[in-house]
């Protein structure tokens, strides 16, 4: 046990001293910092437009100025003539001005703005103009106050998201599915990125020691079994550290950017389905460890460090295919998608998305996690056996031929 822990600590210490690993570990923090910087710069440069409203109808102008702006613009009430507004625009005191012309049956408006001023989102201003025009027309037609209230009462519109499981309807809040799907996609993307990272790390670890013949010295004092499990234990500790750093960075990022990023304004952890977080953590650990164990075996089957990329290519391609198919799983619950969500090496990307959109129950999710965990145990035994056989094998035969030859022996 002491030797296993020594190997694990050596793996952890070596990677924590690696600049490339530190950058990958802090990638979520760096990403959130860059997003926060972009939001800060955008807030400093995108200020609320200062405008003026000019009209030949003072009552209409007053009503338009007093209409709710929702923070989209600010009206300078002092400017009442087009000449004064044009002068202020030329001196860059305002960003633009609206000229409203009222006739008996028509309302026309023209907004004049500087090209180097703060741009105006005209939707709110247009809605206010249309509302006031309708109100003016209704008054001209002699409608009563009650009729006006009925005219301006908006229609009621609600969205209900439902998912059918075993013929029963499972109702979701209107914004719950979008939140769950976004969280699932974010985590499956991280899983795919970290699969590539940790598969490469452990394969490079073994290939480097083998290529420099250090492995011969290590085997004389530490058995291949202890080396194998020591490396896996070290990688597992690094993965747990990665999960913790990513989770904390995500929580801090949501808290900081919650009111500044449009996509996060409606986000709430209460919208996440029960068990979603534990499911994602389980897939994060089991899914990455599956690829890591196989990568350790493949790393032992090469003779030079330069061959690592070649032998890992099929493995990382499977992870990439699983991630691509997860986009299809959002709008499809076909038989192949359902089967694939239970297949190890694919389930870590497919099942979280299926569960997020309501196409899989929590029971199905944990069955899938259980299958992946059993596959991890079985493949760990296979990988250990092949690691033990190939760790001192410097044959230049093709790796797949060596694997088949050992299987037939």
Per-residue pLDDT of the chain (409 residues; tens, 9 = 90+): 678 888 888 888 888 888 888 888 888 888 888 877 776 776 666 678 889 999 988 888 888 888 888 778 888 888 989 999 999 989 988 989 999 988 877 888 999 988 888 888 788 888 888 888 888 777 777 777 777 777 777 777 766 656 555 555 554 554 556 677 777 888 888 888 888 888 888 888 777 776 665 655 555 567 878 888 888 899 889 888 988 888 888 888 777 776 655 555 556 666 666 677 888 888 888 988 899 999 888 887 777 777 788 888 888 899 999 999 988 888 888 889 999 999 999 999 999 888 888 788 888 999 999 999 999 999 999 988 888 887 666 565 544 445 444 444 4
In three-state secondary structure terms, 69 is: coil
pLDDT at 400: 44
pLDDT at 346: 92
Counting every residue written for the chain, the total comes to 409
Cα–Cα dist 187/181, whole Å: 10
Task: Enumerate residues 6+ apart whose C-beta is below 8 A from 175.
Answer: 266, 271
pLDDT at 321: 93
- For 402, the token pair is 């060596």
User: For helices 308-328 and 176-211, what crossing angle results, to 10°?
Assistant: 170
Q: How far apart are the first and last CA of the chain?
A: 31
Q: Which secondary structure element, helix H or strand E, spans residue 109, and what is its range?
A: strand 107-113
DSSP annotation string for 89-104:
HHTTSSSEEEEEEE-S
Q: What are phi and psi of 251, to 5 degrees?
A: -65, -45
Quick one: which of 125, 55, 134 has its CA closest to 95?
Answer: 125
267 touches 258 (CB < 8 A):
yes
pLDDT at 397: 53
CA dihedral 373, 374, 376, 381 (to 10 degrees): 150
Please state, as a whole number, how many other Cβ atoms lie within 10 Å of the Cβ of residue 313.
10
Q: What angle do CA 392, 373, 334 make, to 5 degrees?
A: 120
Cα–Cα dist 273/184, whole Å: 11
182 phi-psi bin (left φ>0, alpha ψ -120 to 50, beta other)? alpha
Cα–Cα dist 259/256, whole Å: 8
- For 208, the token pair is 């480097």
Q: What are phi and psi of 329, to 5 degrees?
A: -65, -15
Q: Which residue in this structure is represented by tokens 């992946």? A: 372
Domain architecture of the chain: domains with CATH: 48-149 (3.40.190), 173-408 (no CATH)
100 touches 61 (CB < 8 A):
yes
Cα–Cα dist 65/88, whole Å: 18
pLDDT at 271: 65
Cα–Cα dist 226/229, whole Å: 5
DSSP state of 193: H
Cα–Cα dist 73/129, whole Å: 14
Half-sphere CA count of 313, side-chain side, radius 13 A: 5
Q: Which residues are bridge partners to 99 per DSSP?
A: 54, 110
10 Å CB burial of residue 310 (0-12, 13-18, 19+) is: exposed
Radius of gyration of the chain measured on its C-alpha atoms? 31
Please state, as a whole number, how many other Cβ atoms lie within 10 Å of the Cβ of residue 37.
10
DSSP state of 263: G
232 touches 380 (CB < 8 A):
yes
Output b/e per residue, 110-122; b: 16+ Cβ within 10 A. Answer: eeebeeebbebeb
Q: Is the pTM of this model over 0.75?
A: no
User: For helices 176-211 and 2-16, what crossing angle results, to 10°?
Assistant: 110
Q: What are phi and psi of 171, to 5 degrees?
A: -85, 140
Half-sphere CA count of 210, side-chain side, radius 13 A: 29
Q: Which residue in this structure is represented by tokens 């209107």? A: 174
């Amino acid at each position: 046990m002491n030797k296993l822990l020594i190997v694990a600590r050596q793996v952890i210490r070596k990677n924590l001293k690696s600049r490339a690993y530190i950058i990958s570990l802090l990638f979520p923090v760096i990403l959130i910092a860059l997003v926060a910087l972009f939001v800060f710069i955008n807030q400093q440069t995108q200020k609320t437009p200062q405008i003026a409203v000019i009209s030949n109808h003072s009552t209409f102008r007053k009503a338009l100025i007093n209409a709710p702006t929702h923070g989209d613009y600010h009206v300078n009430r002092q400017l009442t003539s087009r000449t004064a507004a044009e002068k202020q625009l030329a001196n860059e005191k305002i960003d633009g001005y609206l000229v409203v012309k009222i006739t008996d049956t028509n309302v026309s408006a023209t907004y004049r703005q500087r090209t180097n001023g703060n741009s105006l989102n005209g939707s709110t201003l247009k809605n206010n103009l249309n509302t006031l025009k309708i109100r003016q027309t209704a008054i001209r037609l002699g409608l009563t106050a009650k009729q006006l209230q009925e005219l301006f009462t908006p229609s009621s519109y609600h969205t209900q998201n439902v998912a059918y499981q075993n013929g029963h309807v499972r109702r979701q809040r209107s914004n719950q599915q979008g939140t769950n799907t976004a969280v699932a996609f974010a985590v499956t993307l991280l899983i795919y990125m970290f699969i590539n990272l940790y598969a490469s790390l452990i394969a490079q670890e073994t290939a480097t020691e083998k290529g420099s013949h250090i492995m011969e010295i290590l085997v004389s004092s530490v058995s291949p079994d202890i080396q194998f499990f020591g490396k896996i234990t070290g990688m597992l500790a690094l993965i747990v550290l990665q999960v913790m750093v990513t989770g904390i960075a995500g929580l801090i990022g949501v808290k900081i950017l919650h009111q500044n990023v449009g996509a996060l304004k409606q986000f709430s952890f209460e919208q996440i389905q029960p068990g979603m977080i534990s499911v994602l953590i389980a897939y994060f650990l089991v899914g990455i460890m599956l690829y890591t164990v196989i990568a350790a075996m493949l790393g032992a089957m090469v003779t030079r460090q330069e061959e690592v990329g070649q032998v890992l290519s099929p493995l990382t391609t499977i992870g990439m295919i699983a991630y691509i198919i997860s986009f299809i799983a959002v709008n499809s619950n076909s038989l192949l998608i359902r089967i694939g969500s239970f297949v190890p090496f694919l389930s870590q990307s497919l099942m979280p998305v299926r569960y997020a959109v309501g196409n899989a129950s929590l029971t199905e999710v944990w069955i899938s996690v259980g299958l992946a965990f059993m596959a991890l145990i079985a493949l760990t035994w296979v990988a250990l056996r092949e690691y033990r056989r190939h760790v001192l094998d410097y044959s230049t035969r093709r790796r797949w031929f060596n694997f088949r030859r050992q299987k037939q022996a």
